Amino acid sequence: MTEQGETGDMITILLVEDDAPTCWRLQDALAKAGYEVRSAGTLGEARAALAGGAPRVLLTDLRLPDGHGIELIREMRQRFPDTEIMVISALGDEESVISAITVGATGYLLKDAFPTDIATTVRDLVAGHSPISASIARFIVRRTQGAAQNSAEPPPGPALNTARLTPREIDILWGIAKGFSYAEIASHLGLSKQTVPGHIKNIYRKLEVHTRSEAVFEAVQQGLIKL
């Protein structure tokens, strides 16, 4: 948190993307913004790149030729807890994004985002602001509702533990899902605008399942698995 990288020269990014044009596009946008970008096309290359040290930010695609990005994210969270992780997604669909969030990613970056938006997103991420999209917020709050209504039958889609979210955090998610800005949410809920990103960071942390055994424990707690 000390490196508020306005200059960006000390911020390193590891970009894992197998589609070359997309990779170039993102790399260009980030390099222009002054970040130091290393790119990898496969899981193997990404692991090799990590041998040289931890990046500040990991941007990874999920479907890779030699494996799944989820594995990389999980490894990253264990080896380098300080690294910020984002998923690169073509559509931003909750199926892939939510599963990435549960292993430690915070948000996603659309592959076709405008270059300025790409740079802004990464800058916000490094500054400690974890962006959350309306559709992801919607998925999470729908899931909290579903869990309250019938816990007997697990809802479709990736497993997600929403049990630890506080009512305030759920209210914030509702606001985001309905398209309100942080300022609007803050005024609706009687919060200071600056505290909203912190809440969102907390939400990400609570949604993350740290280990496999913990995942099982959480699932039992929520009644997703019956022993």
Partner 1 sequence: MSEIAAKAPTKAPTKAAAKPARRRLLASRLVPYLLLQALIAIVTILGLRQLQPSDPEDFALSDFSAREDGLIRPVTLPHFTSSRYSLADPPFYTGAFTFPGGDAASGWSVYLPRFSNAVEVAVNGVVVLDSRRDANANRPDRNTPQIAAIPASLLREGGNEITVRLFVWGPLKGFLDTVYVGPDVALRPAYETRTLLFVTLPVVFSAWQAILAVILAIMWLMRRHEPVYGVLAAAMVLGVVQAFAPPPVPPAATSRLAAVLLASAPIESALIVVFGVLFFGWRWPRYGTLLFVPGIVVFVVGLIGGPPLPRILFLVLGIPTVGLCLVLMACITATAVLRRQDAASFTIGCAVTIVLTCWIQDMLTVLEIVSNDRIFVSRLSYSAMLVAIGAGLTWRFARALNQVDSFAGQLVTRVREAEERLKASFAREEERARAAALANERTRLMRDLHDGLGGQLVSIVALSERGHEGAMITDAARAALKDLRLVIDSMDDIGGDLMLALGSWRERTTAQLRPHDITLDWRVATPQGVPLHPELRPWHVIQIVRILDEAVTNAVKHAQARRIAVTIDTFDAGRGPYGVISVTDDGHGFAPAGNGEAARNGQTARGLRNMKSRAARCGAVLDLSSDSSGTRVRLQLPQRFPDSDMAAG
Instruction: Indicate which single residue of 151, 181, 187, 211 sits in contact with partner 1 (rule: CB under 8 A).
Output: 181
Residue 55 interacts with partner 1 (CB under 8 A): yes or no: no
What sign results for the dihedral spanned by CA atoms 111, 75, 201, 178? positive
Q: Given the rule CB under 8 A, which of 28-36, 42-50, 56-64, 173-181 is the region that contacts partner 1?
A: 173-181
Q: Output DSSP code: residue 155.
A: P
- Angle 46-51-53 (CA atoms, 0-180°, nearest 5)? 100
Tokens encoding 23: 């990779």
Instruction: Indicate which single residue of 80, 180, 204, 217 sits in contact with partner 1 (rule: CB under 8 A).
Output: 180
Instruction: Indicate which single residue of 26, 177, 200, 203 sits in contact with partner 1 (rule: CB under 8 A).
Output: 177
Q: For residue 188, which of 202, 200, 171 has the smallest C-alpha distance?
A: 171
Q: Which is nearer to partner 1, 35 or 139 (CB)?
A: 139
Residue 92 interacts with partner 1 (CB under 8 A): yes or no: yes
> Which residues are within 8 A (CB) of 60 and not within 5 positions of it... i.e. 6 or more apart?
14, 15, 16, 17, 46, 69, 72, 73, 85, 86, 87, 88
Report in angstroms how near the CB of residue 178 gets to partner 1 at its nearest: 4
User: Which residues, 108 to 137, sit near partner 1 by CB under 8 A?
Assistant: 112-114, 116-117, 133-135, 137
Report in angstroms how near the CB of residue 218 gets to partner 1 at its nearest: 23
Residue 179 interacts with partner 1 (CB under 8 A): yes or no: yes
Report in angstroms how near the CB of residue 145 gets to partner 1 at its nearest: 7
Report how far residue 179's alpha carbon sits from residue 65's, in angstroms, rounded to the nearest whole number: 36
Instruction: Indicate which single residue of 10, 20, 48, 91 sits in contact with partner 1 (rule: CB under 8 A).
Output: 91
* Partners of 184 in the β-ladder: none
Please write down the long-range contacts of 220-223, taking CB distance under 8 Å and 24 or more positions apart: 221/161, 221/163, 222/147, 222/151, 222/161, 222/163, 223/151, 223/152
Residue 191 interacts with partner 1 (CB under 8 A): yes or no: no
Q: Which residues bind partner 1 (CB under 8 A)?
A: 90-94, 112-114, 116-117, 133-135, 137-139, 142, 145, 176-181, 188
